[in-house]
Chains A and B, each alone.
Chain A
């Protein structure tokens, strides 16, 4: 098996210096993501999902172990590692089209064409000249996704990109995301705290545990797209992921949980 066209993480350790001494956040992470795969990462809050994603993005190059993309060690951020943050982080003084282009010139014909296509891809036709303040949260997040896609990243990293959205908008965004991925086949790594989101979208779900952050297990989701949210096989997978998540969270087990909350529980 070759390392080409792949994201490979080997023996990744990461700690932060804090006032109380070093704090180990990630311990011995191993993960291989072949080109074009859709991977979801799920885990309890504070287990180091964002930290892991930032390391892969090169935003935090101070780590131990190996993180390589196409055989090259990741040391600094760049357009080949597209990043969609939890908040949209658009430039408020730029319009939708300008935000997508950002430091690329819209005077360039090729760029302009591509921006137009991407705006269509994320269903924002007609909003080219709108400013971020005129957009809803979901629309702004789609602009952020388009901005990352314009640079043809080898891997698209997304840190709970739909976390702040209401349930309907989120489902809509998941469909948009799936369409984008089915058309582009970029490698996608999606951090989420929503089990349903993970199993509906991803081909593999990486379940993490906390203290220190490490990979608990990897659950493959071998179901064809598009997936029906009501598919019974998904329900089974959902139970499996939930079981994995809870196996290390004994201390958090609530005494009595209303049935309704139990069903909608998310991490």
Chain B
């Protein structure tokens, strides 16, 4: 994360009397430079959750609340271990993962393609964009009953629900990314005789990449949301179902296990995109806080 901070300190403003052939010092390798006025604490991000956990466990150990309302962290860990041992958790997680990946690929893939087409071709934009913008205003979770009616309770209704949600952020951000490409760079591409394909691969896509990645992240987030709703509304498997089922039997600790699993995989997928962002957007110099 730290080398994002590197600023160009323009090492090359020639000094008076510098000779024509004067060679400049090479750019130092991207090297982290810590801000002078800020000390970095180790694991600073862990302070808050650890404190919460300790207080939580204390409250439960003192029996200030019933376990059916709020199980202690240790009880939750226990339930987690048991569910893992029986294989139940893993099986549910696998099913959920397949759903979310399928739905996401379908929705985000379509969003990407439509976004590129709308961004590149004005005619396509005129035909498709107004409709998309209209559909976008419908909270897509409200369409769930329709999907269940049309597609039944099988896998398809869930995939389509997730895909519907994943489509919009990807579409909008791809479109915006392409439209924000500096028109002056197109002149350069013409002078350098870029082929149509090179125009897309060497100019449009790299320039739109920050937006593409943002779309990707939002899209993944919405996919998880769609998954939970799909599994809560009509399903006999998956992590969402695990939660719903546990709630009916007042196994609050299992509900928590489900939530934690969602949080973990959600965070993991988000981190993956962040790593991708970090690698692909090295060329940017933005404010890093």
Chain A contact residues, CB within 8 Å of chain B: 57, 59, 76-79, 81-83, 85, 87, 89, 91-94, 102-103, 123-127, 129-139, 147, 151, 166, 168-169, 172, 175-176, 179
Q: How close is B19's CB to chain A, nearest CB, in angstroms?
A: 9
A123 touches B13 (CB 8 A): no
Q: How close is A165's CB to chain B, nearest CB, in angstroms?
A: 9
A89 touches B188 (CB 8 A): yes
Whether B262 is near chain A, meaning CB under 8 Å from some CB there, is no
Using a CB-CB cutoff of 8 Å, which residues 1-47 of chain B contact chain A? Answer: 6, 8, 10-16, 18, 20-27
Whether B190 is near chain A, meaning CB under 8 Å from some CB there, is yes
Q: Which residue of A lies closest to B195 (CB)?
A: A103
Whether B80 is near chain A, meaning CB under 8 Å from some CB there, is no
A137 to B10 CA separation, bound complex (whole angstroms): 8
The prevalent SS among residues of B at the interface is loop
Contacts A93-B206, A169-B14 given; indicate if A134 touches B8 (C-beta within 8 A): yes
Q: Which residue of B lies closest to A90 (CB)?
A: B188
A77 to B209 CA separation, bound complex (whole angstroms): 27
Whether B150 is near chain A, meaning CB under 8 Å from some CB there, is no
* B192: contacting residue among A92, A102, A166, CB under 8 A: A102
B23 touches A172 (CB 8 A): no
Could you say which residues of chain A place their CB within 8 Å of the CB of B187?
Answer: 59, 77, 83, 85, 89
A151 touches B206 (CB 8 A): no
A5 to B206 CA separation, bound complex (whole angstroms): 38
- Most B CB contacts (10 A, CB to CB) among A79, A126, A134, A168 go to A134
Q: How close is B172's CB to chain A, nearest CB, in angstroms?
A: 22
Offer 10 A-B interface pairs, CB within 8 angstroms, sorted by A. A59-B187, A83-B188, A89-B188, A91-B203, A91-B206, A92-B284, A125-B26, A126-B27, A169-B14, A176-B20
Could you say which residues of chain A place their CB within 8 Å of the CB of B51?
Answer: none
* A138: contacting residue among B13, B190, B207, CB under 8 A: B13
Could you say which residues of chain A place their CB within 8 Å of the CB of B283?
Answer: 92-94, 131-133
- How many A-B pairs with Cβ below 8 Å? 107
A39 to B184 CA separation, bound complex (whole angstroms): 25
Q: How close is A61's CB to chain B, nearest CB, in angstroms?
A: 11
A131 to B206 CA separation, bound complex (whole angstroms): 14
Could you say which residues of chain A place their CB within 8 Å of the CB of B18?
Answer: 168, 172
A78 to B185 CA separation, bound complex (whole angstroms): 15
Could you say which residues of chain B place their CB within 8 Å of the CB of A82?
Answer: 191
A123 touches B23 (CB 8 A): yes
A157 to B184 CA separation, bound complex (whole angstroms): 16
A82 to B23 CA separation, bound complex (whole angstroms): 26
Whether B202 is near chain A, meaning CB under 8 Å from some CB there, is yes
A82 to B253 CA separation, bound complex (whole angstroms): 70
A136 touches B285 (CB 8 A): no
Q: Which residue of B lies closest to A131 (CB)?
A: B283
Whether B193 is near chain A, meaning CB under 8 Å from some CB there, is yes
Could you say which residues of chain B place their CB within 8 Å of the CB of A139?
Answer: 10, 12, 24
Could you say which residues of chain A place their CB within 8 Å of the CB of B8?
Answer: 133-136
Using a CB-CB cutoff of 8 Å, which residues 259-289 of chain B contact chain A? Answer: 282-285
Q: How close is B217's CB to chain A, nearest CB, in angstroms?
A: 19
For the complex of A and B, list the 6 residue pairs with the smallest distance between their C-beta atoms, beginning with the closest: A126-B26, A136-B10, A134-B8, A175-B20, A130-B27, A133-B285
* Apart from A79-B193, A123-B24: 10 A-B pairs, beta carbons within 8 A: A77-B187, A77-B190, A82-B191, A87-B184, A89-B187, A126-B26, A130-B27, A168-B14, A172-B18, A179-B20
B26 touches A168 (CB 8 A): no
Q: Which residue of B lies closest to A59 (CB)?
A: B187
Whether B250 is near chain A, meaning CB under 8 Å from some CB there, is no
A95 to B12 CA separation, bound complex (whole angstroms): 17
* A172: contacting residue among B20, B188, B207, CB under 8 A: B20
Whether B194 is near chain A, meaning CB under 8 Å from some CB there, is yes
* B193: contacting residue among A78, A92, A168, CB under 8 A: A78
A79 touches B13 (CB 8 A): no
Q: Which residue of A lies closest to B197 (CB)?
A: A103
Contacts A123-B24, A131-B283 given; indicate if A103 touches B16 (C-beta within 8 A): no
B184 touches A85 (CB 8 A): yes
B188 touches A85 (CB 8 A): yes
Q: How close is A195's CB to chain B, nearest CB, in angstroms?
A: 21
Could you say which residues of chain B place their CB within 8 Å of the CB of A137?
Answer: 10
A77 touches B191 (CB 8 A): yes
B21 touches A123 (CB 8 A): yes
Q: Which residue of B lies closest to A172 (CB)?
A: B14
